[in-house]
Structure 1
Amino acid sequence: MRQGRAEACAEFAVARAGHLYRAACLLTAGDTHLAEDLVQETLGRVYVHWGRVSRAENPAAYAQTVLTRTFLAHQRRRSSTERTMDVLPDRADAAGGDAVLRLTLLDALGQLPAKDRAVVVLRYWEDRSIAETADVLNASQAAVRTRCVRALGRLRDLLGEDIGAYAHP
């Protein structure tokens, strides 16, 4: 019986890992190493609580909630000596139109506070409702709406009016 639970959890992990990784990359504003760590931690927590996860109405949403909360917890416990950099040295050279747009959006996401970034990813990448987003973030629906408006306004300020120029080759 224990073997069957482990196999079911492994199948779930294989099926969801790619989606969780993409969401984690957005949450971390393109930090792929941190995204991998977050996904690994998320899948570890899902494995530990597989009995509860497998009985959930939507195990994928449960895993996404764990990912988002793991990301927010990581942001809260960041060492006071750690400093963020404006330019990361290991980014790819952005020669193509899609790559330029992707890097521009990731840079803008990276400049948002962690909770604002989480709201944008959940609402617009994950296409979650305000109620679902509020549940994941342990916040009120009004707080989510306010964060959405402020975060999108901040993104517009960061990206400027000419963001459309990146989308056309």
Structure 2
Amino acid sequence: MRGAAFETFLRQSAPALLRLGNALALDPQGAEDLAQETLIRVGLSWSRVRQDGNPVGYAQRTMVNLFLNERRRRRPVPVAEVPEQAREDAALAEVHDTAAVRQILAGLPAQQRAAIALRYLADLPDEQIAEILGCGPGTVRTHLSRGLATLRGRMTTPRTEG
């Protein structure tokens, strides 16, 4: 049994970890799976994590590592024929906007998406992001700069009111 400290950590940290998972996985099911696997790993290492004194940082790093490792393992599978694209229903405009944002985010390299999520969702400074990503603070700033430039470039399409 992990005790009251672990239960308190779960209650306080789970919502923020799920938000971070959403930004990384870009789909609710993937985010839940990522958060669950992260919390399982934190729970299994709780005695060591608690002694370290930074369970939130450990959980964030674990989640990002799980995400990056999954991205490395998952390779596109070639298919004989490209499936037809479904036509979009005009009634799904809100879903389309969300899907468009997710598509833009999905187009970012994994390191850039992770850096953006850690900066703007977890509100971490460059040094902590660098520690989580296993790189230097300058590399973090590069990931953020390039990722944000890509996002700005892809999101500048003017919207029409209708």
Could you state the TM-score of these two structures normalised by the residue count of structure 2? 0.80
Superposed displacement of residue 6, structure 1:
4.0
Asked if 1:108 is matched to 2:104, the reply is yes
Superposed displacement of residue 104, structure 1:
3.7
Cα RMSD (Å):
2.8
Asked if 1:15 is matched to 2:12, the reply is yes
1:38 paired residue among 34, 38, 42 = 34
1:151 paired residue among 137, 147, 150 = 147
Unaligned residue ranges in structure 1 (runs of 5+): none
Distance 1:28 1:82, change over 3 A: farther
Matched to 2:19, the amino acid is R
1:73 is matched with 69
Superposed displacement of residue 79, structure 1:
4.3
Superposed displacement of residue 103, structure 1:
4.1
Structure 2 distance, partners of 1:154, 1:45, is: 33
Residue by residue over 1:77-110, the C-alpha shift from the partner in whole angstroms, topping out at 9 and shown as x without a partner, is 1145389x9x89xxxx7545xx666444322211
The runs of at least 4 aligned residues of structure 1 exceeding 3 Å deviation read: 93-96, 99-104
Structure 2 distance, partners of 1:47, 1:145, is: 32
Residue by residue over 1:111-140, the C-alpha shift from the partner in whole angstroms, topping out at 9 and shown as x without a partner, is 111111001111122111111110000011
2:119 is matched with 123
Distance 1:6 1:78, change over 3 A: farther
Could you state the TM-score of these two structures normalised by the residue count of structure 1? 0.77
Contact in 2 for aligned 1:94/1:103 (Cα 8 Å) = no
Distance 1:95 1:101, change over 3 A: closer
Structure having the higher Rg? 2
Residue by residue over 1:15-38, the C-alpha shift from the partner in whole angstroms, topping out at 9 and shown as x without a partner, is 322211111011112x11111111
Superposed displacement of residue 143, structure 1:
1.1
Matched length: 154
Contact in 2 for aligned 1:109/1:155 (Cα 8 Å) = yes
Q: Give the % identical residues.
A: 33
1:28 is matched with 25
The alignment partner of 1:112 has SS state of: coil
